[in-house]
Structure 1
Amino acid sequence: MTEALPTTEGDRAHGPHGIAGGAVDERGEPVPDLRRIGIDPDFWYPLALSRAVRRGRTFAAVFAGERIVLYRGHSGEVHALEDRCAHRQVPLSMGVVEGDTLRCCYHAWAYRGNGRISQIPYLPKGCERPPRGVRSYPVREAYGLVFVFPGDPEKAESAPFPVLPEFGAATHRTMTFSRTVNCHYSFMHENLLDMNHQFLHRSVLGRIQPELLGYESGPNFVEARYLFVPAGGRKDRGAGFLSAEGLGGAQTPDEITIRTQYPYQTLQDVPDGARLPAFSLWAAYVPEDAEQRVNHAYGLLMIQKPPVPGVLQLAWPLIRRFTERVFAQDRMAVEAEQRAWDEQGQDWNHEVFPLILDLREVLRANGVPLDVS
């Protein structure tokens, strides 16, 4: 006789719309599969590094299957347009930048930064232009990134924008990350917030024992505080600096705060009495495909300069290599999770950590159901 296992979030079969048939919430309602929840487009998302959008050139970007062309005109301002010509739907990213307009490579239709048609070279006199051009998107450039607002443009001005005072501060230096990861964006939030996976990094960091000091959650956030100490009470290799995930300072254990403030995520080490963090990670995970099983991870790691001049600059290549190795291990794990979801057609993991269960509720409640039919 087989012993029945207790029902968890993974113990369920999905219906036609990705509803978890076997699991219910406290009200008895079916729990939607988080991996079928799309990210809310009504936020500012980085779609490119500023240096990648060169003056007089186009840059093909994408948000959740929506193709967007970025171009930097002669004035230096970046514009974002729907990446298809209103005429024959050829990608405008194949076009030519002329001054502050973008001309399609096919029939030379020209567009202003607001998406309106400025010229159709062969249009006969007396003929009217089409009533509309292409969609334009609000754009903001900050922190070395090009942010685009892919949702309702009327909400762009009031939507929260990341505030990072340590970026550009004379006391800090910033390392920028830009990587494609083959998984649903929610796996990324779970990976960073759940520090119980440090065993994964034992080859880089040695043995570290994370201790959850406490956490709180609200309608659109989850924030956790961890204490990191070497396993066995001794300092192991790598345990002195976990800059990408939360252990900083080689002398004493560090208290790290990790927060998902939808849709962004931060990790900070703020010493007592300090105005700015000793180091701070800001991250955004931008879905690329319509099914949102691939995301582009943008990260800004801001590290305080030590008292001795030049030390951080000398250590910079080592810090970069260190963080890349940690990130590579995390990417391996979350991409394996996505492959399991793809193979099984649903989420069968048995999550037991209350912190992550609360995080999933925040991501569900603030996301939007995917419609990929």
Structure 2
Amino acid sequence: MNQISPVQTDTAATAATPDLRRVNSNPDFWYPVAWSSALRRNKTLAVSFAGIPMVLVRPEEGTVFALFDRCPHRQVPLSKGTVNGQTVRCCYHGWAFGRSGRCIDVPYLGKGKMPNGVRTFPVREEGGLIFVFPGDPAKADTVPFPKLAQTANPAYKTKQFGPRVNCHYTFMHENLMDMNHQFLHRRQMGQIKARFLGQDKGEDFIEARYSFMRCAGQQPLAERLIFGKHKDLNGREQPIEEVVTIRTEYPYQTLRITDKDGDLIMDLWTAYVPVDKDERVTQAFGLLSILRPQTPLLIDLIWPALGWFTNRIFLEDKEIVELEQAAWNEVGHDRNVEIFPVVKALRELLTRCGIAQDAAPQADAAPVALAAPAACAATPETTA
């Protein structure tokens, strides 16, 4: 009787130290934590980064500021309090904290020495997003701020999307980088095949280029509206119509589509922000910029159809990466057998630039200097 041989696994992939799904996001970068539209004047908003509770405060006048979302008195969330001028006042005993984090008023204490304040986080608001710098605040002014798709370019119309996904952020990076998974989207896009055109990589980035060939089925309407109608060659090898360039430049990810002349048609920028301490829940923030057609207002007419199409694609990706996370949860370690060189290089990048969980800061820790690994420490911006 024939015996079935056990499945052979890639020991190099399974024996990696640390496990990629136990590598936390490096906090020494700018991370979006909320949409600007979610925070009104004189209001607070509770957000988190890797289990660190934060409160965003938008006063009646001035810019947004961010504090650790716990009153030091009884640990009640400051986000439950009220905004008065440039302060947020705890809902329990009325302790008030300014944008510097200093406690400036305890109603029943008089003019004696004020209690300790709370941790603050550097904040920037750009492109319809509120960013915080969760790591060493001394680095905030020198770490480059990301380019947010084409949000400042009137030649493009930009769509925001921000679903919460129940998986480790590294699954999200792998999903977008590996365009060989188009079989997953066959109901939305028909039968298409990714053609790998090449890659580039450096200390803090990995980039892959693809084109696509339709094997069967009709070109979806949304795709036709964005890129134009492609000729049906009845299964023959199709010429390269567009080039898709996907880049993880830690910790962000982009997807850019250019036509055969090199003109930019679509520009996607995404950030995957860990919500919980174990980083198994990810809040995605995405900006998708599409070149406006020459016909005035056409993109506004087709925008709902484009939104429906892109949402359907992302929902399929969301379901699959959550299944990957569920499989990891069952065994408690990474058993993936990876064969695609680009994804192997991506995994190395994410491991090198992230922080092993046992070295990550605790949610209630005081501010500490967190040195990014030398290989992928953010390069300070320079001026001429």
Same fold, TM-score > 0.5, yes or no? yes
Q: Equivalents in 2 of 1:39, 1:134: separation in Å?
A: 23
Deviates more, 1:114-123 or 1:42-51: 114-123
Counterparts of 1:97-136 in structure 2 under 5 Å? 97-125=83-111, 127-130=112-115, 132-136=116-120
Matched to 1:81, the amino acid is L
Matched, 1:366 2:345: no
Q: What is the CA deviation profile of residues 275-315 of structure 1, one whole-angstrom value per residue up to 9, with x for unaligned ones?
A: x6211000000000000001000000000100001110000
Deviation of 1:89 after TM superposition, in Å, equals: 1.0
Query: Does the Cα contact within 8 Å between 2:242 and 2:258 map onto a contact in 1?
Result: no
Could you tell me which residue of structure 1 aligns to residue 20 of structure 2? 34
Query: Does the Cα contact within 8 Å between 2:243 and 2:260 map onto a contact in 1?
Result: no
Could you tell me which residue of structure 2 aligns to residue 70 of structure 1? 56
Q: Equivalents in 2 of 1:242, 1:364: separation in Å?
A: 38
Matched, 1:298 2:298: no
Matched to 2:113, the amino acid is E
Query: Does the Cα contact within 8 Å between 2:275 and 2:283 map onto a contact in 1?
Result: yes
Deviation of 1:346 after TM superposition, in Å, equals: 1.1
Q: Equivalents in 2 of 1:168, 1:334: separation in Å?
A: 31
Deviation of 1:98 after TM superposition, in Å, equals: 0.6
Query: Which residue of the other structure, out of 254, 264, 273, is the alignment partner of 2:252?
Result: 264
Q: Equivalents in 2 of 1:147, 1:11: separation in Å?
A: 34
Deviation of 1:229 after TM superposition, in Å, equals: 1.4
Deviates more, 1:3-12 or 1:321-330: 3-12
Q: Equivalents in 2 of 1:97, 1:122: separation in Å?
A: 19
Could you tell me which residue of structure 2 aligns to residue 343 of structure 1? 330
Matched to 2:330, the amino acid is E
Query: Does the Cα contact within 8 Å between 1:229 and 1:253 map onto a contact in 2?
Result: no
Q: Evaluate the alpha carbon distance shift between residue 60 and residue 282 of structure 1 in structure 2; reply closer, same or farther with a 3 A threshold.
A: same
Could you tell me which residue of structure 1 aligns to residue 35 of structure 2? 49
Query: Does the Cα contact within 8 Å between 2:70 and 2:78 map onto a contact in 1?
Result: yes
Q: Equivalents in 1 of 2:44, 2:325: separation in Å?
A: 32
Structure 1 stretches lacking a partner, 5+ long: 13-22, 24-29
What SS does the aligned partner of 1:62 have?
strand
Query: Which residue of the other structure, out of 303, 308, 326, is the alignment partner of 2:295?
Result: 308
What SS does the aligned partner of 2:223 have?
coil
Q: TM-score, normalised to structure 2's length?
A: 0.86
Deviation of 1:237 after TM superposition, in Å, equals: 3.8
Could you tell me which residue of structure 2 aligns to residue 357 of structure 1? 344
What SS does the aligned partner of 1:187 have?
helix
Q: What is the CA deviation profile of residues 311-357 of structure 1, one whole-angstrom value per residue up to 9, with x for unaligned ones?
A: 10000000010011000000000000000000111111211111101
Matched to 2:347, the amino acid is R
Which structure carries more relative contact order (alpha carbon 8 Å, separation 6+)?
A: 2
Could you tell me which residue of structure 2 aligns to residue 167 of structure 1? 151
Matched to 2:348, the amino acid is E
Could you tell me which residue of structure 2 aligns to residue 20 of structure 1? none
CA RMSD after TM alignment: 2.1
What SS does the aligned partner of 2:293 have?
coil
Q: What is the CA deviation profile of residues 232-252 of structure 1, one whole-angstrom value per residue up to 9, with x for unaligned ones?
A: 5xx624287299xxx944336
Query: Which residue of the other structure, out of 86, 99, 108, is the alignment partner of 2:72?
Result: 86
Q: Equivalents in 1 of 2:148, 2:110: separation in Å?
A: 52
Structure 2 stretches lacking a partner, 5+ long: 231-239, 363-384
Q: TM-score, normalised to structure 1's length?
A: 0.89
Runs of 4+ in 1 over 6 A off after TM superposition: none
Query: Does the Cα contact within 8 Å between 2:149 and 2:287 map onto a contact in 1?
Result: no
Matched, 1:230 2:232: no
Q: Evaluate the alpha carbon distance shift between residue 268 and residue 9 of structure 1 in structure 2; reply closer, same or farther with a 3 A threshold.
A: farther
Query: Does the Cα contact within 8 Å between 2:99 and 2:120 map onto a contact in 1?
Result: yes
Deviation of 1:87 after TM superposition, in Å, equals: 1.4
Q: Equivalents in 2 of 1:294, 1:102: separation in Å?
A: 28
Deviation of 1:192 after TM superposition, in Å, equals: 0.3
Aligned residues: 349
Counterparts of 1:204-219 in structure 2 under 5 Å? 204-219=188-203
Could you tell me which residue of structure 2 aligns to residue 241 of structure 1? 223
Q: Equivalents in 2 of 1:348, 1:362: separation in Å?
A: 18
Could you tell me which residue of structure 2 aligns to residue 15 of structure 1? none
Deviation of 1:2 after TM superposition, in Å, equals: 5.6
Could you tell me which residue of structure 2 aligns to residue 19 of structure 1? none
Query: Which residue of the other structure, out of 105, 126, 131, is the alignment partner of 1:142?
Result: 126
